[in-house]
Amino acid sequence: MIGDDEVGRVSDLRGGRLLVVAFLLGGPLAPAAAAAPETAPPATAAPASPSREALSTQWGENRFIGRLKPGYHFNDKAPNKVVMAGKKITTGAVSGTAISPTSIHEREIVFAGLPSPGEATLYVCDDAQTFCDIHRIPFGGGNDKDPKTKEDPFPLSSQPGAHAARNGTWLTRYDEALKQARLHHQLLMIEFFARWCPGCIRLDTEVLQQPAFAELTRKMTRLRLDVDRFENSGLVGKYNAKAIPTLLVLNSEEAEIDRLTDFQPLEVITRWVQTLAKDPTPIAGLQQNPLLLGRRLLAAHRPMEALEQLKKVSPPAWELPQAEIETAELIVELDPNATEKKELLAGKLRQAVQQESASYRSLEWRKRLLQLQKVPSPDREKTFTDARDLADRLLKDEESLKTALMSENVGEFINFEKLLVATERAEIFEIAGRDDAEIQKAWELAAKIGEKVDLQCRGPSHRYLLVLMQAHLWSQAEELVGKLLANNPDDPELERRRLKILFEQKKFDEAAQLGEKCLRNSYGRNEVWVAENLAKTYIAAKKKKEARALIDRFLGRSDIDWKRTKGSRENLEKLREQVL
């Protein structure tokens, strides 16, 4: 919070009761009531109100931003304003020296284009509509933080399905979004996300919530689709959203223009959106540019078509080996039992590794090759040792790591690249079937590297928590999840992970209590996962009656997409046998 503010409870001011009634009814203010706050003496002696504690402010780049915690909202019917210090403005939504908000949503208010420091007057009401407070906040005194440097404490990802995002409107229904895009002749941006996904969390907090992103995409229709909701399954399949987060841009005729996968920083997304705004040609219209067409087809998970285009490019495009591998993968998917097709894929992987033996993506290629080389052999051992040695070199040598990642999209691991390599290394040990002690040591190394993650970075800190859980460092995981929950109380994803941690520590009664809460706050695939783990907890706590009732209730539900949760259904059926 910036500077000292003057807090005046409206009901304590002259004409205050009229103000409260007018504000709460959302109607026009009576002239006398509107003038009262301006002439009332400052209430500097009043104690800090709950709404002031819920308010945080930021100043920088000629922009003042106020944000509120859940339970409060800015009154958009009241005269919220900024008064400049000795500066008279004659443009924009200005009266004399007072500037009106550039944008105002329930819990965020923005004043942009401010040429100098000043004082903000903000009207804050509680959601129960029992009072409104006035807060007068000086800013620009020299100790203010730039908005870009402070993490938003109230992330959009904690409100899945919310219709209105604070930095612009995000719709949650595809038909409504498409209708709006067609009505206004706009491009349609779709974010495919999940609450548990660290990359999605980082994209949300560092990009989608930023005022600059709202301004960047203000001429687009924006839609958020949670992939864990069963009702979104059809759209996930229709647009081949195999990875999350994905930002997909369509024209109003539903033709794909381009997509970005995984976390990308705001500057990258800014250049991308600006490029699409200048030339919104859909993929189907790029036949004269095989390199661009090939890249966009590959991003759209259409590798066969991408390969056809990239083969036309000379010298060979960087994406060509990946297109060859993904095409071979697709052929294997069509006939997973065909040995010759798996050999074709293995050959493409060996060829790619030979061409790029020191790149980061060659680690991923070797990992996939190990999955195909199931029978112990000298070739399999060489694949493992080469992968391990490369990972070790990248972790020890900064220059080698920098070179290996030069052309890579490391997504959520930007600024945490060593954690990415260490995680890949541990997974390679697991896939290679090394002994338990070696695997444990590999995960402990990843956990050690993860200690450098800033806990204020929500996406990477969630990833670090997953690494601790993979390493079975349950005490450290419980300590970390406690710290993260202190910053984000009632975060449903953190609570689900804590459920798993408590179970592994054999704290069954506490886990059962938390699991019941998680069940109330979950939906779709997450709800089924919680039910499965809560049933395990009940059984471990010798509460077989509760376990059976829970299992029977879920197995009898027809609203669950059991095709997408086949493994969980099988697990629930096995658990049911234990309580018969």
Does the structure show a pLDDT above 50 at 455? yes
Residue 104 to residue 23: CA distance in whole angstroms: 15
303 found inside a domain: no
Q: Are residues 182 and 137 in the same domain?
A: no
| pLDDT the model gives residue 7 | 30
Q: Are residues 187 and 263 in the same domain?
A: yes
Q: Are residues 233 and 117 in the same domain?
A: no
In degrees rounded to 5, what are phi and psi of residue 356?
Answer: -135, 75
Higher pLDDT, 154 or 566: 566
Share of the chain above pLDDT 90, in %: 66
416 found inside a domain: no
| pLDDT the model gives residue 155 | 33
| pLDDT the model gives residue 117 | 83
Which of 264, 281, 298 is the C-terminal boundary of a domain?
A: 281
25 found inside a domain: yes
Per-residue pLDDT band at 133 (split at 50, 70, 90): confident
Report whether 112 contacts 146 (CB < 8 A).
no
Report whether 257 contacts 187 (CB < 8 A).
yes
424 found inside a domain: no
Lowest-confidence range among 131-145, 423-437, 443-457? 131-145
| pLDDT the model gives residue 156 | 34
Residue 458 is encoded by which pair of tokens?
């929500």
| pLDDT the model gives residue 129 | 66
Residue 30 to residue 27: CA distance in whole angstroms: 9
User: Residue 274 sits in a domain of what CATH number?
Assistant: 3.40.30.10
| pLDDT the model gives residue 118 | 86
Residue 50 to residue 23: CA distance in whole angstroms: 18
Per-residue pLDDT band at 48 (split at 50, 70, 90): low
Number of domains within the chain: 3
In degrees rounded to 5, what are phi and psi of residue 334?
Answer: -70, -25
DSSP per position, 136-176: EEEE-SS-PPPGGGS--SS-GGGSTT-SEETTEE-B--HHH
| pLDDT the model gives residue 141 | 62
Q: Which domain holds residue 261?
A: 156-281
45 found inside a domain: yes
Q: Are residues 102 and 192 in the same domain?
A: no
Report the 10 Å Cβ neighbour count for 131. 18
C-alpha distance from residue 497 to each of 123, 235, 485, 518, 549 (Å): 38, 28, 11, 10, 23
Does the structure show a pLDDT above 80 at 371? yes
Q: Are residues 134 and 29 in the same domain?
A: yes
Residue 331 is encoded by which pair of tokens?
């052929």
Report the 10 Å Cβ neighbour count for 30. 14
Average pLDDT in the 286-315 region?
A: 95
User: Residue 528 sits in a domain of what CATH number?
Assistant: 1.25.40.10
Q: Are residues 80 and 201 in the same domain?
A: no
Q: Are residues 36 and 88 in the same domain?
A: yes
Which of 259, 281, 303 is the C-terminal boundary of a domain?
A: 281
Higher pLDDT, 24 or 147: 147
pLDDT tens, residue by residue, 498-554: 999 999 999 999 999 999 999 998 999 999 999 999 999 999 999 999 999 999 999
Query: Which residues, 6 or more positions from 508, have their beta carbon under 8 angstroms from its beta carbon?
Result: 502, 537, 540, 541
| pLDDT the model gives residue 347 | 96
569 found inside a domain: yes
| pLDDT the model gives residue 40 | 36
Q: Are residues 140 and 42 in the same domain?
A: yes
pLDDT tens, residue by residue, 208-262: 999 999 999 999 999 999 999 999 999 999 999 999 999 999 999 999 999 999 9
